Amino acid sequence: MATLTSREEDYSKWYNELVIKADMAENSGVRGCMVIKPYGYAIWEKMQRQLDQMFKDTGHENAYFPLFIPKSYLSKESDHVEGFAKECAVVTHYRLKNSPDGNGVQVDPNAKLEEELIVRPTSETIIWNTYKNWIKSHRDLPILINQWANVVRWEMRTRLFLRTAEFLWQEGHTAHVSREEAIDEAEKMLKVYTEFVENFMAIPVIQGVKSPAERFAGAEETYCIEAMMQDGKALQAGTSHFLGQNFAKAFDVKYQSKEGKQEYVWATSWGVSTRLIGALIMSHSDNNGLVLPPNIAPIQVVIVPIHRNEEQLKAISELAVILTSQLKKMGISVKFDDRIEYKPGWKFNEYELKGIPVRVTIGPKDLENKQVEIARRDKLEKHQHSIDRLAEHIQNLLLDIQQNIFNKAKLHRDSLITEVNSYEEFKKILDEKGGFISAHWDGSVEVEEKIKAETKATIRCIPLDAKEENGICIYSGNPSKRRVLFARAY
């Protein structure tokens, strides 16, 4: 097995190689679209199952809306079309025909659509066009719906998981009687995302709101969670938008209030995507491969036998089968790799590369001593454990690993938050250290744009817990009431 490029040598190359070598995903023959391979998809399935349960526990139902959005729908909300029109896949025809030269097929010019269809980059417009017919009275509200779907944004520079033309996501779209209720919903879903990303993916995040320039196209407020990668670049891990009445007005969606008045409906939307898998990889993994938090690992424990003959393998298998069954009863996923065509050393490398949290090795000596060897992936550390109460031990170990991976990421993230009070310092930290830079900003779009143009750093968020303090903007010198977080970002 060829080794990975190290993170220190080339972080970007390390990431790409890791995604490919760990069998997570690969580029397809279609520009910007990836193939998510079974191992990568198994992680997505675990994410989906967990998130879906959390959405249902907070009162949401799933539904499915069309892949295509008529061009005229997209145009109805002006900020929205501005935000998405420049990078979208447009369906113009509905038929191919044989080429006159007999060589392949071509678009049939007689099958041109009257109105072009956009492959959804997000579904607000098609959904609000639908909600219009569902909402008559305050009794029809709230509508709390989520959709699991693929979306397409014609990105020019793509990277596996992080930025792809097509990606998978979920998008929640809710409708409410009041501003307050909609804001509560947007904030509630931000909390759900925070809990999911921190407790399941073990990625610490900062909750905040976006600056106006970084808001979702069509939102009044965009809440976000921001994560910090190992290389000091930030990554937006999820967003929840308070859409005000923008889409209700664009699609004329009103309800009759208890008082009998016609009112526009209030909206939210919120989403996370397969991008999070990129964040997962970049948050925890090392030069030997993936490091997966147990809560999201498709295989949590692998058992590798070491044996010289059939008889030994048989004895080891007996123990492995008992352990597997005990672990499965605890809801722990286990793989017993008794393939004889691969050597133990090859397997060790393979499972290290794949980030399996716990490896149990059983050799003939271990059997004699009624013990096994346990290696944890997060610390590359081994120890022996008696076969007594082994399953319980592994169960506790998995909890410890989950916590340790989170703590390590948090320690690293915290070390990458720097307060600065001048633009010189800002630029110096940005270039030498990276990370989040906490600085005063005067709230103007102009300053935000200038800093971005000069340094490639953007305002990642205004943290929800930002303290009020009197400061001056590092760029303009104008007064500022609170610090915001800048960073270069994925």
User: Footprint of a copy of itself on this chain (CB under 8 A)?
Assistant: 26, 28-30, 33-38, 41-42, 44-45, 61-75, 81, 85-98, 104-107, 116-119, 126, 129-130, 133, 139, 145, 149-150, 152, 154, 166, 168, 341
Pairing relationship of beta strands 206-209 and 221-228 according to DSSP bridges:
antiparallel
Nearer to a copy of itself (CB atom), residue 126 or residue 197: 126
Closest CA to 375 of 362, 392, 388: 362
Residues across the chain: 490
Q: Is the dihedral of CA 192, 195, 196, 198 positive or negative?
A: positive
Looking up tokens 């993170």, which residue turns up? 7
Q: Considering the complex, what minimum distance in angstroms separates the CB of residue 334 from a copy of itself?
A: 15
469: tokens are 């303090």
Q: Considering the complex, what minimum distance in angstroms separates the CB of residue 261 from a copy of itself?
A: 20
Q: What ranges make up the beta strands (E) of 164-253? A: 166-176, 206-209, 221-228, 234-244
Nearer to a copy of itself (CB atom), residue 21 or residue 410: 21
Nearer to a copy of itself (CB atom), residue 145 or residue 397: 145
Q: Considering the complex, what minimum distance in angstroms separates the CB of residue 342 from a copy of itself?
A: 10
Nearer to a copy of itself (CB atom), residue 324 or residue 395: 324
Q: Considering the complex, what minimum distance in angstroms separates the CB of residue 171 from a copy of itself?
A: 14
Nearer to a copy of itself (CB atom), residue 90 or residue 464: 90
Q: Considering the complex, what minimum distance in angstroms separates the CB of residue 94 from a copy of itself?
A: 4
395: tokens are 């169960």
Q: Three-state SS for 205?
A: coil
Pairing relationship of beta strands 262-264 and 301-305 according to DSSP bridges:
unpaired
Burial class (CB in 10 A: 0-12, 13-18, 19+), 2: exposed
**CA-CA distance, 351 to 302, in Å (whole number)?**
8
**Amino acid found at 71:** K
Q: Considering the complex, what minimum distance in angstroms separates the CB of residue 222 from a copy of itself?
A: 23
Nearer to a copy of itself (CB atom), residue 148 or residue 423: 148
